[in-house]
Structure 1
Amino acid sequence: MSDCSSALVLGSSRGIGAATARALDAQGCRVVLHGRTPSAGLVGLGRELGAPTVAFDLADAAAVRRGVADAVTEHGLPQVVVFSAGVNRVVPFEEASREDVADAFGVNVWGAVGVLQELLPKMVAQGGGAVVLVSSIRGVDGLASDRTVFYSMAKAALGNLTVSLAKRYAPTVRVNAVAPGFTVTDMVATWDEGAWRQARGNLLGRPAEPAEVAAAVAFLASDAARHITGQTLVVDGGYGLAGK
């Protein structure tokens, strides 16, 4: 399915990002892995795939500029960019400060903006490529959470960023997003019984595995999706249809 020759996967030390890196690697794509720090997960996945790793903080604009420039210099300009990094800190709406709101947007939105500001013009000059942003069902109309208000706001912003960049960089670069529902990552350790009920409350009766979300990302990055741009593919097991 893949015509991907090279990919940079932001946020690939664990979870959906790591599963996406594995999926692209299995399709013959040369993958560059990224994490905020050279963690055991990032280094271990690099060894597993025989893939290079880069580490920089997506919330730090200067670090993003340096990190992306170094990645391109050392490993070449990617044909595919996957942004799978994100943070989700629960702060009650009534207690939130401006700093809390800025924190929610720091990695989730500004990280994506900073990376793509550096890479998209170069991808156009190279002749094209594909971008896939990993959003969330919390960014989809009607599915925002009253518990994670600012995370929902940030993920909704990613959806609009997807559409705007698809228009701006067409027809050379395709830009799409994937919006996962509840997914079995290391975050399940924080789920209480209520969260598990929600996770099982979709039409398929279970949360997604990271590889199932990664398959959707790999599809949108591939030539099989060559006539798809500006779209958000929801991978939620029918959660949004179950009246949640």
Structure 2
Amino acid sequence: MTPPYGLQGKVAVVTGASRGIGLAVAEAFTAAGARVCLTARDADGLRRAAAGLDAVALAGTVADPAHLRRLTGLAMEAYGRIDVVVNNAATNQPYGPLMDADPDRWREAFAVNVEAPLRLVQYAWRAWLREHGGSVVNICTEGATHVGPGLGAYGTSKAALLHLTQQLAGELAPGVRVNSVSPGLVRTEMARFVWEPADGAPTGLPLGRIGDPEDIARAVTWLASDEARWITGTDLLVDGGTRVRAARSQAPSQPGPRPPITYHLPGA
């Protein structure tokens, strides 16, 4: 995949990059000319991803501030700059009704999905972005603006990440642009429990399929690049038409004859 825009000479830090959306973003960035510094909890998967991209990587959890400091230091040591931060690592636990949510797991959701993105941006800001500018892209979710069964902690934390995106966009302008991408249902390991039971069945989406990680990577690459240089504080919804499928259910399957249109001109 070669995007029609480039990130030549840029350096990006990508979290949750051993598979799924994070790996697809790292691949797209590399194809667009960037060098990447990767992290994920899966050390073996991360090692394979880094080898395939000739990238540097550091295994660990983004919930650990010390790990994020080391990750920032690794990027600066290896490449001497950090132009782009992509906060993709996330957890969808605790899953289930909020009345049954374990407080420790609830706090973990916010540590990974909200606090870690803020901390990583802080470290990158102090290391490079404050003096040289750059771009941040946070991966949110289409579900952050509405409720659904089982994903209360995930949706609430991602709604907080949406607000954090806007707050940072205002605070870090004009040098650093901060945006987010909100995927719909994407064929990732974390969402397997949602898409696998219905795999191969009609999704009801206007665009006829669930998403692939590459669909999200294209959007992230564009937002991170100078092609989007006049965009900050926005959330780009990439959901295959999830929000508009209710209208599709009301549309006729075949266009029928239309009544004639009568125009009434002023003074006629």
Find the structure with the greater CA-based Rg.
2
What percent of counterpart residues are identical?
Answer: 37
Given that residues 182 and 199 in structure 1 are in contact (C-alpha distance below 8 angstroms), is that contact kept between their aligned partners in structure 2? no
Shift, 1:162, TM fit: 0.6
2:194 equivalent in structure 1 = 191
- Correspondence 1:23 to 2:23: no
More helix by share: 1
Aligned to 1:83: 87
Q: Which residue of 1 aligns with 2:215?
A: 212
Aligned positions of 1:4-15 closer than 5 A: 4=8, 5-15=10-20
SS in 1 for 2:55: coil
Would you say 1:110 and 2:115 are equivalent positions? yes
Q: Which TM-score applies when normalising by structure 2?
A: 0.83
Distance 1:190 1:159 in 2: 24
Q: Give the 3 Å change call, closer, same or farther, for CA 195–147 of structure 1 in structure 2.
A: farther
- Tell which deviates more after alignment, 186-195 or 210-219: 186-195
Is 1:61 the counterpart of 2:65 in the alignment?
A: yes
User: In structure 2, do the counterparts of structure 1 residues 170 and 189 end up closer, same or farther at CA, with 3 Å as the change threshold?
Assistant: closer
Instruction: Determine if contact 2:169/2:233 at 8 Å carries over to the other structure.
Output: yes
Structure 1 unaligned blocks of 5 or more: none
Secondary structure class of the residue paired with 1:191: helix
Task: State the partner residue of 1:47.
Answer: 51
Separation (CA, whole Å) in 1 of partners of 2:202 and 2:220: 21
SS at match of 2:75: helix
| Matching of residues 66-145 of structure 1 within 5 Å | 66-89=70-93, 90-139=95-144, 141=145, 143-145=146-148
- RMSD over aligned Cα, in angstroms? 2.2
Matched pairs, number? 241
**Higher RCO (Cα < 8 Å, 6 or more apart):** 1
Deviation at 1:193, TM superposition (A): 7.0
Indicate the larger mover: 16-25 or 75-84. Answer: 75-84
CA distance in 2, matches of 1:79, 1:185: 27
CA distance in 2, matches of 1:101, 1:150: 6
Gaps of 5+ in 2: 248-268
Q: Provide the rounded CA distance (Å) in 2 between the counterparts of 1:224 and 1:198.
A: 37
